[in-house]
């Protein structure tokens, strides 16, 4: 990838993740020595989707680095909704488990919404429970989804102002697009949410001071679709035989953007680090 001369425009997600993990480590040590609490995360993976397995493994490794106790619950693909809910119920009651993460997607016969709602809101490390989503909508950001939270943290870290800015989010998922839009609104940005059905996407992206792309379409955003000096977050991951690609044509877009996240090494590591923050928060609040 030839980005020579533009390196200073790259948002270093790995470095920011290290910094966040260091914060978690020291806060965790204080929690252990002060109150004798070691934060615990239980992950649930249903089935054997290789990508999901990899994501769960990455989260467990992060727990190890910061000192969070992690439990790995792997259920067979044919697990029933009742069995899944019963595991969630027992984890809700377990005082050593402060946070629960149900890896998505679930096999088709299971209802992610019902499962998500079964997780105790105060143990909802992902911020996906309707209670936490509802709080986010009214401006009370308790437990919020990790990816949008990480993007807000990166904007703060790189001193990018948000108030009054034109922000465009491409993708309207519950995991990224919708909570991201709410977090920008809470910070008084002007927000457009675009998605696969948007007519003339470029008309919107060209006006973006800050552009967040989470569409899952390789190189959807080209250099002629952004304005000079835009700040760009690429949440997309498309795995192909010869490598991993984002939703943004990084090599060309970096020449116009003022800041941009690479794929890999951008939003991904920050998302995982924010999850560690959320587990710590659950542990601090729960006793």
For ligand GUN, the closer CB: 88 or 146: 146
Q: How far apart are CA 249 and CA 246, in angstroms?
A: 7
Residues making up the binding site for NADP(+):
171-173, 237
For ligand GUN, the closer CB: 37 or 84: 84
Interface residue list for ligand GUN (CB under 6 A): 101-104, 126, 146, 175
Strands 99-102 and 238-240: unpaired
Give the chain's largest Cα–Cα span. Answer: 56
Residues making up the binding site:
171-173, 237
Q: Is 124 a catalytic residue?
A: no
Q: How far apart are CA 281 and CA 131, in angstroms?
A: 17
Question: Who contacts 90 (Cβ-Cβ below 8 Å, separation ≥6)?
Answer: none
For ligand GUN, the closer CB: 39 or 179: 179
Closest CA to 131 of 121, 123, 146: 121
Q: Which of 59, 165, 178, 277 is catalytic?
A: 59
For ligand GUN, the closer CB: 107 or 207: 107
The dihedral region occupied by 67, where left means phi > 0, alpha psi between -120 and 50, and beta the remainder, is left
For ligand GUN, the closer CB: 37 or 169: 169
Q: Where are the alpha helices (DSSP H) in the chain?
A: 13-35, 50-66, 81-93, 112-118, 130-137, 146-157, 177-186, 201-205, 250-253, 267-285
- In the complex, which residue's CB is closest to ligand GUN? 104
Least CB distance to ligand GUN at residue 148 (A) = 10
Strands, DSSP E only, in 114-249? Answer: 166-170, 190-194, 210-213, 231-234, 238-240, 243-245
Least CB distance to ligand GUN at residue 55 (A) = 6
Q: Which of 12, 123, 124, 126 is catalytic?
A: 126
Write down the number of H helices and E strands in the chain: 10, 10
Q: Is 255 a catalytic residue?
A: no
3-state percent breakdown (helix, strand, coil) of the chain, nearest 5: 45, 15, 40
Tokens 């969630």 map to which residue? 88
Least CB distance to ligand GUN at residue 95 (A) = 22
Q: Is 103 a catalytic residue?
A: yes
For ligand GUN, the closer CB: 30 or 54: 54
Tokens 């601090």 map to which residue? 284
Q: How far apart are CA 258 and CA 256, in angstroms?
A: 7
Q: How far apart are CA 180 and CA 236, in angstroms?
A: 14
Q: Which of 12, 103, 135, 277 is catalytic?
A: 103
Q: Which residues are catalytic, by number?
A: 59, 103, 126
């Amino acid at each position: 990838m030839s980005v020579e001369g533009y390196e200073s425009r790259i948002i270093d997600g790995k470095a920011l993740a290290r910094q966040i993990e260091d914060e978690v480590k020291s806060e965790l040590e204080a929690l252990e020595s002060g109150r004798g609490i070691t934060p615990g995360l239980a992950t649930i993976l249903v089935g054997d989707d290789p990508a999901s397995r990899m994501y769960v493994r990455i989260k467990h490794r992060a727990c190890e680095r910061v000192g969070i106790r992690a439990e790995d619950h792997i259920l067979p693909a044919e697990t029933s909704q009742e069995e899944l809910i019963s595991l969630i119920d027992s984890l809700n009651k377990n005082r050593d488990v402060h946070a629960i993460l149900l890896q998505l997607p679930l096999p088709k016969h299971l209802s992610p919404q019902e499962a998500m709602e079964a997780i105790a809101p105060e143990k909802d490390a992902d911020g996906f429970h309707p209670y936490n989503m509802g709080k986010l909508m009214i401006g009370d950001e308790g437990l919020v989804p990790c990816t949008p939270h990480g993007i807000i943290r990166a904007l703060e870290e790189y001193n990018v102002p948000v108030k009054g800015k034109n922000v465009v989010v491409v993708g309207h998922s519950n995991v990224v697009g919708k909570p991201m839009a709410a977090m920008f609104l809470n910070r008084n940005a002007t927000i457009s949410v675009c998605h696969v059905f948007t007519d003339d996407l470029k008309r919107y992206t060209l006006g973006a001071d800050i552009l967040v792309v989470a569409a899952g379409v390789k190189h959807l955003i080209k250099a002629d679709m952004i304005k000079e000096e835009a700040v760009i977050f690429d949440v997309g991951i498309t795995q192909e035989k010869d490598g991993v690609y984002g939703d943004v044509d990084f090599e060309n877009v970096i020449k116009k953007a003022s800041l941009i996240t690479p794929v890999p090494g951008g939003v991904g590591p920050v998302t995982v680090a924010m999850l560690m923050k959320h587990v710590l928060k659950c542990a601090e609040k729960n006793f």
